[in-house]
Amino acid sequence: MINLILFGPPGSGKGTQAVKLAEKYDLIHISTGDLFRYEMGNDTPLGLKAKEFISKGELVPDSITVGMLSNKLDKHPDSVGFILDGFPRTIAQCEALDEIFSEKEMAISKLIALDVAEDELVKRLVERGKTSGRADDSDSNIIKNRIKVYHAETSPVYNYYDEMKLSHTVDGIGSIEDIFGRLCATIDS
Ligand code: C5P
Ligand code: MG
């Protein structure tokens, strides 16, 4: 089984690359952001709750996010592995994931971080906002807050897995195919 965490700030290319990696390695792609957007699109109670936070560029409370992720994992008991995109985003989410995985006798294989400079992130998100229809991509203050929250709450996740020698960094600048090649080389090494 391969279980990957694709890590990086908003706009670093996690979603784009996760789709390609899932196809190549036959993994189930779980994007917690996409799951939230699905719930919001259907105005479910979970979606309405999540929207309170997402619309401000804040993180949804851990208990909600962890519960949603856990349900999604349970839907694919026979998968050869998962690629987690946008989760875990806090140390509490890391600890919860450890617990869920140990119950299922699963383990994280690697965390791979996409390294992209901040001015490039803002540029990409503003560009994506023109077509994504995502309210949180369409306002520069929300974009800035998402990056701030990333530094404050999410960046420690890298160190959490680094202590277990599981963290790797890949240059996230270049063509989609070049970055994909770097990611595959890291996965295969
Ligand atoms: O991963 P993505 O950037 O698509 O997530 C969009 C938004 O969903 C985040 O900015 C955040 O508000 C929320 N989110 C969260 N916790 C996660 C994943 C996403 O709060 N683990
Ligand atoms: Mg994404």
Ligand 1 — pocket residues by CB below 6 A? 10, 32-33, 36, 53-54, 57-60, 65, 86-87, 89, 136, 146
8 Å CB contact between 13 and 116 = yes
Q: Where does 2-188 sit in CATH, by number?
A: 3.40.50.300
For the sheet containing 28-31, what is the strand order? 28-31, 81-85, 2-7, 110-115, 167-171
Q: What is the pLDDT of residue 180?
A: 98
Catalytic, 182? Answer no
pLDDT digits (tens, 9 = 90+) for 107-162: 999 999 999 999 999 999 999 999 998 999 999 999 999 999 999 999 999 999 99
Distance between Cα 23 and ligand 1 center (Å): 23
Indicate the pTM of the whole model. Answer: 0.97
